[in-house]
Structure 1
Amino acid sequence: MTTAENLHLPAGSTAQGRYETLVDPGRREDWAHTGLRVLALGPGQSEVSTANGVEVMVVPLNGGCEVSVDGEIHTLRGRPDVFASATDVLYAPVGSQLTITSAEGGRFALATAVATGSHPVTLIRAEDVPVEVRGGGTMTRRVRNFGTVGAFDDCDSLIACEVITPGGNWSSYPAHKHDETIDDGTRRESELEEIYYYEIQDAPGGTPGFGFHQTTSSGEDKPVDVLTEVRSGDTVLVPHGWHGPCAAAPGHDMYYLNVMAGPEAERAWNITDHPEQTWVRGTWDEAGIDPRLEGEAR
């Protein structure tokens, strides 16, 4: 049985050097396709990162940076924090050498996926990121689709997005899975690993926030049992299984960065809802959009 003890990586538990979080494909036996590094830079500091065998998206969490890729410099304007807005994102192909420099300092997520093909370096501006409001009532959340299928496709296998769940709301609900490849004319599903990287908004008085993440077995051959409290800087790995719901404690908005990739040649993101929970989709229209998220879609 795969449990929270080896899939929930608390903040700092994988830290190495300037990296607060370090998950690389192939570093552990049960993880093959995706990676995430969270880089912390002080004012004026730089870090060189080589995309060996992976393609990468640089996602500023707070602060801006300049990224030099093969001698060309790209300026990412960044943001005060992940709750403030979408951000500029930079895509770089497999084999690239990146030098990340931040004049004011900041933290930067490097989302990666195993790749072989060559694609152009691409700067995605914050104002061009498609923003979707999904769900209804206490299931409303905001999705920033900077690296999803259909929003950005000039890459091999990497799929990435950000989700903001207002305090008291649930997301990744209904629970769903994408741990096998199916295309039988009635249902499509894509085999994908998934990383959830969390940040939770503090209380007004500065005390830390929290939320919950769940992953459960999707079959006898895919045993997993995770129901864990998550806090800022925590990472949860989803190798298989029904994942969700993710619940934000009242008063604490929840952010997560999703990173996905899989073994198939086709880059696709097809999911299957948990059969006991898919009915909730039919309640969203009547419940309406959480007023905290009205006017966010573009």
Structure 2
Amino acid sequence: MTATAPDTRALHLPAGSAAAGDYALEVTPESAGWGHSGLRVLELPPGGTHTLHTGEDEVVVVPLSGGLVVSCDGEILTLAGRPDVFAGPTDFAYLPREATAQLSSERGGRFALCSARAGRRLPVRYGPAAGVPVELRGAGACSRQVNNFATAGVFEADAVIACEVITPGGNWSSYPPHKHDETSDAESELEEIYYFEVAPGPQGQPGLAYHRVYGTPERPIDVLAEVRDRDVVLVPHGWHGPSIAAPGHDLYYLNVMAGPGPERAWRIVDDPEHAWVRGTWAQQDVDPRLPLHSPTARPDQNGATRP
């Protein structure tokens, strides 16, 4: 019996198509048809407020533009935020499951709520921007910048793994194609959400990018999406990459991952047909446009094993 690939239309969500209630974007395990990862984007006007009930999820609040105050479990966390996603890492807030939080923004802004179904209830915490490890990954036309604000081994959480990737215009990232859909010593099973923002041209021209997801005969999946500003691509399984930034338009994406395994880990395997490209990076320089607004960035010392 031949397996059936998921409907591409359910995996590429153009900006606005997954809006719900107070959210400009709402992806839940139920809406995605999986079990663990979620993402909401909340847009607040100046002076706006929002009450968030976390329910079964732990949530990482990440300012995309603007700042806010988060009140939860008797803690008041003031997030300075940033003008936009290309302005460097931001501070963030961690909220536990079964909590109620008040979010308020004096000047307004746009805020990502990265979530995962959680078993443990951890404390409310503040993550400073200065503490976010910034990594320069790849080289040459595969150069990109990774803000590892909530990855495993960097920030404690029960299940959620999240990071930001900045790709200069004309470069490829999430390359070579890789996957993390099985549990093994080399791989961890993780559902993944890609949320994109695309920098406009010099006169405000809208930008674009491309993203690829493909599978195997046993587990088919086939996505080749032209992504625009604030689009989302869901990766339930399969090889994913590249994410291609069009020349003249820097590309940002926020990755949110979680899975069923008891270990919170991000282990990947490369598509064997493309893994050789990692071996070329040692002979190339990192793109001189990087880091973007992040003077503390450092080259990745483990490029052979990182996506």
TM-score normalised by length of structure 1: 0.95
Query: What letter corresponds to residue 61 of structure 1 in structure 2?
Result: L
Alignment of 1:115-126 (within 5 A): 115-126=118-129
Determine which of 223, 240, 243 is the counterpart of 2:240. 243
Determine which of 178, 182, 185 is the counterpart of 2:184. 182
The answer to whether the Cα contact below 8 Å between 1:3 and 1:226 also exists between their aligned partners in 2 is no
| Cα shift at 1:221 | 2.6
1:288 aligns with 2:285: yes
The answer to whether the Cα contact below 8 Å between 1:200 and 1:253 also exists between their aligned partners in 2 is yes
The answer to whether the Cα contact below 8 Å between 1:210 and 1:231 also exists between their aligned partners in 2 is yes
The answer to whether the Cα contact below 8 Å between 1:34 and 1:113 also exists between their aligned partners in 2 is yes
SS at match of 2:55: coil
Q: Which residue of 2 aligns with 1:216?
A: 214
Q: Which residue of 2 aligns with 1:196?
A: 194
The answer to whether the Cα contact below 8 Å between 2:75 and 2:124 also exists between their aligned partners in 1 is no
Structure 1 unaligned regions, length at least 5: none
Q: Which residue of 1 aligns with 2:110?
A: 107
Q: Which residue of 2 aligns with 1:266?
A: 263
CA distance in 2, matches of 1:202, 1:140: 20
1:157 aligns with 2:159: yes
The answer to whether the Cα contact below 8 Å between 1:162 and 1:256 also exists between their aligned partners in 2 is yes
CA distance in 1, matches of 2:53, 2:103: 11
Alignment of 1:56-71 (within 5 A): 56-71=59-74
Determine which of 255, 264, 275 is the counterpart of 2:272. 275
The answer to whether the Cα contact below 8 Å between 1:133 and 1:296 also exists between their aligned partners in 2 is no
| Cα shift at 1:72 | 1.9
| Poorly superposed stretches of 4+, deviation over 3 Å | none
CA distance in 2, matches of 1:116, 1:26: 18
Give the fraction of aligned pairs with identical amino acids, expressed as a percent.
57
| Superposed CA offset, 1:240-289 (max 9, x none) | 00000000000000000000000011111100001011111111121110
CA distance in 2, matches of 1:104, 1:202: 23
The answer to whether the Cα contact below 8 Å between 2:73 and 2:124 also exists between their aligned partners in 1 is no
SS at match of 2:29: coil
| Cα shift at 1:120 | 1.5
Determine which of 15, 18, 21 is the counterpart of 2:22. 18
Query: What letter corresponds to residue 246 of structure 1 in structure 2?
Result: S
| Superposed CA offset, 1:178-199 (max 9, x none) | 001012xxxx100000000000
CA RMSD of aligned residues (A): 1.1
| Superposed CA offset, 1:5-55 (max 9, x none) | 110000000112331100011234x22110000000000010001111010
CA distance in 1, matches of 2:296, 2:283: 19
| Superposed CA offset, 1:76-116 (max 9, x none) | 00000000110001111111111110000000000000001
The answer to whether the Cα contact below 8 Å between 2:23 and 2:43 also exists between their aligned partners in 1 is yes
Query: What letter corresponds to residue 282 of structure 1 in structure 2?
Result: G
1:127 aligns with 2:130: yes
Q: Which residue of 2 aligns with 1:9?
A: 13
Alignment of 1:25-40 (within 5 A): 25-28=29-32, 30-40=33-43
SS at match of 1:55: strand
The answer to whether the Cα contact below 8 Å between 1:18 and 1:41 also exists between their aligned partners in 2 is no
TM-score normalised by length of structure 2: 0.93
Q: Which residue of 2 aligns with 1:207?
A: 205
| Superposed CA offset, 1:97-151 (max 9, x none) | 1111000000000000000102111111101100000000010000000000111
CA distance in 2, matches of 1:16, 1:6: 16
Query: What letter corresponds to residue 288 of structure 1 in structure 2?
Result: D
SS at match of 1:6: helix
CA distance in 1, matches of 2:118, 2:111: 21
SS at match of 2:82: coil
SS at match of 1:59: strand
Query: What letter corresponds to residue 248 of structure 1 in structure 2?
Result: A
| Cα shift at 1:296 | 5.0
Q: Which residue of 2 aligns with 1:255?
A: 252
Query: What letter corresponds to residue 231 of structure 2 in structure 1?
Result: D
1:231 aligns with 2:220: no
